[in-house]
Amino acid sequence: MQKIGSAIDTFNEKFGFYASYLVLPLIMVVVWEVIMRYGFNAPTSWAFELTVFLYGAHYSFALAYAHKHNTHVAIDVFEARLSERPRTILRIITNVVLFLPTIGLLAYYVCVLAANSWQQWEHASSSWAPPIYPVKTLMAFGFVLFFLQGVAKLIQDIRSLKASPDYQLPLENKDQ
């Protein structure tokens, strides 16, 4: 169990780290389009769609990474007043009741959305007409990773609950 948890953690850390560099090509594509349109009066047919695809992949891939680092905003004022053990129990409960069913269902149905797109061999109805199925697959992949990070957190919390009561969870700083 623990092995699965730390495997998910390691993968999401690495993947999120490298995926965060997607903002750089995103900047390039947008600037390229501006240069072509104003500098050469030759707007591209592909920049607009490539821009949204890059942005979509960028944030989808970061969902799990942000969850791993506790960056998703939460009203933790009440939770913070609890001592370590009840807090871990509360985290396990909210994870099982709120996160896993909701994000699990969502991840599954986003996969269904992607699968349907493959079946129809879906392309965008624009002049560039890029294929949509790989892009929907990227989004589905992001949501699946997000779900898996929730599973990893559950495993981690259960482990720390079993460990000695004074075991301290490494808390990450929130940054915005």
Partner 1 sequence: MSVEVLTILMFIALMASIALGHPLAVTLAAVATVFGLIDNGFDVSALLGLFANNAWGIFLNYTLVAIPLFIFMAQILDRSKVSEGLFDALYQVLGGLRGGLGMAVIVVSTVFAATTGIIGASVVAMGLMAGPALLRRGYNRGLGAGIICASGTLGILIPPSIMLVVYGGLTGQKETSVGNLFAAAIMPGLLLSALYLLYVGVRCYINPEMGPPIPKEDRTATVAEKVAMTMKNFVPPFGLILTVMGTILAGIATPTEAAALGCIGALILAMATRKLDWDVISQSCIATARTTAMIMALFVGGKFFSVVFLSMGGGDVVADVLLGMDVSPYVVFIIMMAVVFVMGMFIDWAAILLVVVPIFTPIALDLDFNPLWFAMMVCINLQTSFLTPPFGYALFYFKGVAPPEYTMGDVYRGIIPFVAIQVIGLATLIFFPEIITWLPGVFFGN
Query: Contact positions toward partner 1, by CB under 8 A?
Result: 16-17, 19-24, 26-27, 30-31, 33-34, 38, 48, 51-52, 55-56, 58-63, 65-67, 69, 71-80, 90-91, 94-95, 97-99, 101-103, 105-106, 108-110, 112-113, 135-136, 139, 143, 175-176
Provide the minimum distance between the beta carbon of 31 and partner 1 in the complex, in angstroms, as a whole number: 5
Tell me how far apart the alpha carbons of residues 133 and 105 are, in angstroms, rounded to a whole number. Answer: 20
DSSP string, 129-170: --BSHHHHHHHHHHHHHHHHHHHHHHHHHHHHHHS-TTPPPP
- Write the CB contacts of 96 (distance below 8 Å, at least 6 apart in sequence): 154
> In terms of CB distance, is 33 or 84 closer to partner 1?
33
> In terms of CB distance, is 2 or 10 closer to partner 1?
10
What letter does residue 81 receive in the DSSP assignment? G
Please tell me whether residue 123 adopts helix, strand or coil conformation: strand
Provide the minimum distance between the beta carbon of 176 and partner 1 in the complex, in angstroms, as a whole number: 3
Residue 123: beta bridge partners?
A: 131
Residue type, 102: T
Provide the minimum distance between the beta carbon of 46 and partner 1 in the complex, in angstroms, as a whole number: 14
Tell me how far apart the alpha carbons of residues 139 and 134 are, in angstroms, rounded to a whole number. Answer: 9
> In terms of CB distance, is 63 or 155 closer to partner 1?
63
Provide the minimum distance between the beta carbon of 3 and partner 1 in the complex, in angstroms, as a whole number: 26
> In terms of CB distance, is 2 or 129 closer to partner 1?
129
Provide the minimum distance between the beta carbon of 155 and partner 1 in the complex, in angstroms, as a whole number: 17
> In terms of CB distance, is 91 or 155 closer to partner 1?
91
Contact 146, 68 (CB under 8 A): no
